[in-house]
Chain A
Amino acid sequence: MLKKWMKIGLVTVITSLSIGAGLAEAAGVLTIGRREDSTTFDPIKTAQNIDFWVFSNVYDVLVRVDKSASKLEPGLAESWTVSEDGLTYTLKLREAKFSDGSPLTAGDAAFSLLRIRDDEGSLWSDSYKVIDTAVASDDRTLVIKLKTPSAPFLSTLAMPGASIISQKGMETLGPDTYAESPVASGAFTVKEWRRGDRVILEKNPNFWEADRVKLDGVEWISVPDDNTRMLNVQAGQLDAAIFVPFSRVAELKKDSNLVVHMDPSTREDHLLINHEKGALAKKEVRQALDMAIDKQAIVDTVTFGLGEVANSFIPKGALYHYAENLQRPFDPEKAKQMLADAGASDLALNYVVRAGDEIVEQTAVLLQQQLAKAGITVNIQKVDPSQEWDMLVAGDYDVGVNYWTNDILDPDQKTTFVVGHDTNMNYMTRYKNDKVKDLVTAARIEMDPAKREAMYIDIQKMAKDDVHWIDLYYSPYINVSRSNIENFDQNPLGRFFLEDTVKN
C-alpha cells in the first residue's frame, strides 16, 4: 500500500516536471496557467468563464466593455444609433477581416445574433429573444429591430456569447469543427488545442487592430493543482497564472520576480436558501440566519482579508450597486430569539458543499460553527460538483454556497436570474415576490437612467428585506505574473486584455 502512495507522489512530480519541460520558450509567447482546460470555442454553447475568458481574445464583439467595466465602447461596430421609440438599432460596422482573410460583413453579424437567438444548442437564447429581426441593409450596416424597448440591449451585444463568427466558415466547417478550430474575428487564432492540456493561440494578422497586439501568441495551460501552478510561476516555467488562492497572496507578494494582480471583479459569494424547505419559507427565519452569520469572519478566515463584506446581490463596482443597502449586524443572541419567536428554535439545515472546492469547504466549516452559536444545527453534505448542481436544481437542499460573476455590464441579466422569476426558479432558491418580479420587468424597459437606478435600488432593498439569499462577500480576481510581463489586466467582467500585454 505504501507503494501506491509513493506512486501517486511520483506521478505528481513527473506531471509537474513534464509541464515544465513542455513549455515553449519562444519570445513573445505568453504562457498562462489556469485550473481547467476550455470546453468549446462555439460562443453560444457555453456559459463558463473558462471558455469566455479565452475566446474573448479570439472573437471580437460588436460593442465592447472598457477596461474598468464602466462603459461600452465601439468594437466591430464603430458607431450606432437608436431610434426614438428605442426599437430600432442601426449599427455601422468598420472594415474588418476574419482570420482566413475573408471580409467581416454586417451579414456575419446578423448571422451571429440570430444564431444565439435561434440555435437549438444555444444556452443564451432567452436573453436574445427580444430581437425581432436583424438584417444587413448593406455590407457595413446592421439594422436590429426589437420586439420591446430594452435598456440592457447594447450590453448584451458585448457579451462574449454574442461574439461575431463567420457565416461562411460556420457553414463550410460545420459547428463541431468550428468549435475546435474557429475562424477568428479577434486578436488571436487557435493554432492548436490539446484537449485537457492547453490551448495554443497565435496572433491574428488579419485582426482589424493587429497593430495593437504585441504578443506573438498565448498558451493557456491547465495546471489543476493550485500549489503546482504557483510553483511553476515562481520557477519561471509559466509567465502568469490565474486563480491564485487567497492563502498564497502574502507569500507571492514577497517574491520580487512576481507581480500579484488584484483586479476588481464582479464576483459575489452568497449562501443560497431553499425557500420551499420548512421554516426557511418564513422571512423572519431567513433574517435570523442572516444575523447569525459573521461575514467579517469569513472575509478574514477564508479570503485572508482580501475580500469585502457584501451587502447586495449587485456587486460593488457594478452598475447601480446600492452602497447604503442594509447590512444586518452579526448578533447570534438576537438570531436565536427571532428563531424562537418564529417557532424554529431547533432548526437543522442540510448544507450542500461542492467537494474539492477549498473556498466553499472552508466557508462551510466556518458557517457550521457560527450557526451553532444561534442554536442551528448544520449537517454538511459533501458532494461532487455535478451532483451538487443537480441537487440545487431539484431543490434537494436547504442551504449551499455559490458565487456569480457578471457577464454583461448591465445589472438586468443577474437581476433577472436571481429575483426576476426566471425559468431557473430564481437561481434555485424558489424565492417568490411578485412585486420584485414586476419591478425587474419594468426596469428592463425603463430608458431613463435616473429612474432605472431608483428602481434597482428598490429591488435591492426588497430582496435584502426578503433575504432571497444571504450576501457573503465580494472578492477580486487574483492573478500573478512574472515581473517582465506588462499590462496583464482583467476587467471586472473577467475579460483579459491580452492585446495590450507585453512580454519583455
Chain B
Amino acid sequence: MAVLGLFLVLAVFAPFIAPYDPIFQDAAARLHAPSPAHPLGTDNFGRDILSRVIWGARIDLQIAVIGVVFPFIIGTTLGTIAGFFGGIVDVIFMRVVDVVLAFPFLVLMLSIIAILGPGLGSFYIAMALVGWVSYARLVRAQILVLKNSDYAVAAISLGFSRSRVMFRHLLPNAAAGSLVFVMSDAVLVLLNGAAISYLGLGVQPPLAEWGVMVADGQSFISTAWWITLFPGLSIVLLAFGFSLLGDALADLMGVHE
C-alpha cells in the first residue's frame, strides 16, 4: 500500500514535486551522471531523469488502472451471463474465449495496435478486446457454482428478474476472485504497457513513460546507465506494489488462487 501510495502521490502532485519540466531539453547538460543538480542524472537530450520518472508515474498508473478496468467490466458481465444462462449462450461465449486464448497474448495485442495505429488509446482498446477473457472464465466458473446455491435458487423462485438475480445476488459474490485477480492483472498490464511503449507502439514522444525511457536509454547503457536503471526500477517497484496489494486483498477476502 505504501509503495502504491507513494506512486499515487508522485502522479497526482507531479507538477509540484518534479524539479524540472520533463520535456525541457537542456543542451548544456546532456548525459550528466547523477549529481545534486540532477539527482538521477540526465538523458541524451539533457532532460532530467528524476522529473521524467515522476511524470512517468502519472502515465504508468493510468495505464495500469484503465488497462484493467475495461477488461474487468466486460469480462465479468459476459462471464456472468454465460454462467447464468448456460446452454447455447455459454457455448458461444466460451468458444470466443477459446479463440482469443488460442493466440499468444502479446502477438494479438501487437496486431490489434498495429491495425489501430500506435498510441495509448489503441493500447486500451487492445487490452479491452484481449484482456476480458480471463475475467469471463473466472466469473463464469464462480457463477456456475453459485447459481445452484440456496440463496440463488430462493431468489429465482421468488420470481425476481433474471438480471436482478444475476447482478444483485450472484455477481457480488462471484466477483471477489476477480477483484483479487485485478491486482495481479494490473502488474501484467503495466508491464505490457511498458513493453508496448518500449516497442514504440504506446506512449508517443516527448511524453515521459518508463518503458519509453528504458528503450531510449538502451543505446547508452554502457556509458550512461542511469537513463535505463531508474525508470526500470520504478516499473519493478510499482509492479511489486500491485502484487502485494493483491496478496493482501486475497487474505482479506479469503480467496486463494
Q: Which residues of A contact B216 (CB under 8 A)?
A: 361
Known: A380-B204, A382-B201. A369 touches B191 (CB 8 A): no
Q: Does A251 contact B (CB under 8 A)?
A: yes
In the complex, A382 Cα to B23 Cα: how many Å?
Answer: 18
Q: Which residues of B contact A379 (CB under 8 A)?
A: 204
Tally of chain B residues near chain A (CB < 8 A)? 26
Q: Does A301 contact B (CB under 8 A)?
A: yes
Q: Does A383 contact B (CB under 8 A)?
A: yes
Q: Does A226 contact B (CB under 8 A)?
A: yes
Cβ contact within 8 Å between A247 and B45: no
Q: Does B38 contact A (CB under 8 A)?
A: no
Cβ contact within 8 Å between B204 and A247: no
Q: Does B234 contact A (CB under 8 A)?
A: no
Please name the residue on chain A nearest to B184 by beta carbon. Answer: A1
**How does the 8 Å CB contact mask read for A449-487 relative to B, with 1 for contact and 0 for none?**
000000000000000000000000000000000000000
Please name the residue on chain B nearest to A384 by beta carbon. Answer: B114
Which of A1, A248, A355 has most chain B Cβ within 10 Å? A1
Please name the residue on chain B nearest to A4 by beta carbon. Answer: B191
Q: Which residues of B contact A251 (CB under 8 A)?
A: 222-223
Known: A251-B222, A251-B223. A368 touches B191 (CB 8 A): no
In the complex, A368 Cα to B23 Cα: how many Å?
Answer: 10
Q: Which residues of B contact A361 (CB under 8 A)?
A: 200, 205, 216
Q: Does B225 contact A (CB under 8 A)?
A: no
Q: Does B19 contact A (CB under 8 A)?
A: no
In the complex, A381 Cα to B122 Cα: how many Å?
Answer: 13
**How does the 8 Å CB contact mask read for A313-336 relative to B, with 1 for contact and 0 for none?**
000000000000000000000000
Known: A226-B219, A247-B44, A355-B199. A382 touches B204 (CB 8 A): yes
Q: Does B30 contact A (CB under 8 A)?
A: yes
Please name the residue on chain A nearest to B187 by beta carbon. Answer: A1
In the complex, A226 Cα to B204 Cα: how many Å?
Answer: 23
Please name the residue on chain A nearest to B197 by beta carbon. Answer: A382
Which residues between 44 and 103 of chain B lie within 8 Å of chain A, taking CB atoms? 44-45
In the complex, A1 Cα to B190 Cα: how many Å?
Answer: 11
Known: A301-B27, A383-B118. A358 touches B206 (CB 8 A): no
Residue from B27, B199, B204, B239 in contact with A297 in the complex, judged by beta carbons closer than 8 Å: B27
Known: A355-B201, A365-B205. A381 touches B118 (CB 8 A): yes
Known: A247-B220, A358-B219. A301 touches B200 (CB 8 A): no
Cβ contact within 8 Å between B200 and A355: yes
Q: Which residues of A contact B117 (CB under 8 A)?
A: 381, 383
In the complex, A255 Cα to B54 Cα: how many Å?
Answer: 37
Q: Which residues of B contact A369 (CB under 8 A)?
A: 23, 25, 45, 206
Known: A247-B223, A355-B199, A382-B118. A364 touches B218 (CB 8 A): no
Interface of A: prevailing SS:
helix
Q: Does A227 contact B (CB under 8 A)?
A: yes
Task: Quote the shortest CB–CB distance from A403 to chain B (angstroms).
Answer: 18
Q: Which residues of A contact B23 (CB under 8 A)?
A: 369
Which of A231, A245, A382 has most chain B Cβ within 10 Å? A382
**How does the 8 Å CB contact mask read for A360-376 relative to B, with 1 for contact and 0 for none?**
01101110110000000
Q: Which residues of A contact B239 (CB under 8 A)?
A: 1
Task: Quote the shortest CB–CB distance from A202 to chain B (angstroms).
Answer: 35
Q: Which residues of A contact B219 (CB under 8 A)?
A: 226-227, 245, 247, 358
Which residues between 214 and 255 of chain A lie within 8 Å of chain B, taking CB atoms? 226-227, 230-231, 245, 247-248, 251
Q: Which residues of B contact A297 (CB under 8 A)?
A: 27
Q: Does A356 contact B (CB under 8 A)?
A: yes
Which residues between 99 and 134 of chain B lie within 8 Å of chain A, taking CB atoms? 114, 117-118
In the complex, A392 Cα to B85 Cα: how many Å?
Answer: 52
Cβ contact within 8 Å between B191 and A1: yes
Cβ contact within 8 Å between A381 and B204: yes
In the complex, A267 Cα to B147 Cα: how many Å?
Answer: 71
Q: Does B221 contact A (CB under 8 A)?
A: yes
Residue from B45, B187, B201, B220 in contact with A365 in the complex, judged by beta carbons closer than 8 Å: B45
Q: Does A300 contact B (CB under 8 A)?
A: yes
Known: A1-B188, A380-B205. A300 touches B222 (CB 8 A): no
Task: Quote the shortest CB–CB distance from A315 to chain B (angstroms).
Answer: 25
In the complex, A383 Cα to B201 Cα: how many Å?
Answer: 8
Which residues between 166 and 224 of chain B lie within 8 Å of chain A, taking CB atoms? 187-188, 191, 199-201, 204-206, 216, 218-223
In the complex, A366 Cα to B25 Cα: how many Å?
Answer: 8
Which residues between 342 and 357 of chain A lie within 8 Å of chain B, taking CB atoms? 355-356
In the complex, A444 Cα to B214 Cα: how many Å?
Answer: 50
Cβ contact within 8 Å between A5 and B27: no
Please name the residue on chain B nearest to A226 by beta carbon. Answer: B219
In the complex, A245 Cα to B23 Cα: how many Å?
Answer: 24
Task: Quote the shortest CB–CB distance from A13 to chain B (angstroms).
Answer: 14
In the complex, A441 Cα to B187 Cα: how many Å?
Answer: 62
Question: 4 new A-B pairs (CB below 8 Å) besides A226-B219, A382-B205, A383-B117?
Answer: A247-B223, A362-B44, A369-B23, A382-B201
The 8 A-B pairs with the shortest beta carbon distances in the complex, nearest first, are: A355-B200, A382-B200, A365-B205, A382-B118, A1-B191, A380-B204, A380-B205, A358-B219
30 residue pairs A–B, Cβ–Cβ below 8 Å: A1-B239, A227-B222, A247-B44, A247-B219, A247-B220, A248-B222, A251-B223, A301-B27, A301-B30, A355-B199, A355-B200, A358-B219, A361-B200, A361-B216, A362-B44, A365-B45, A365-B205, A365-B206, A366-B45, A368-B205, A368-B206, A369-B23, A369-B25, A369-B45, A379-B204, A382-B200, A382-B201, A382-B205, A383-B117, A383-B118
Residue positions of A touching B, CB distance < 8 A? 1, 5, 226-227, 230-231, 245, 247-248, 251, 297, 300-301, 355-356, 358, 361-362, 364-366, 368-369, 379-384
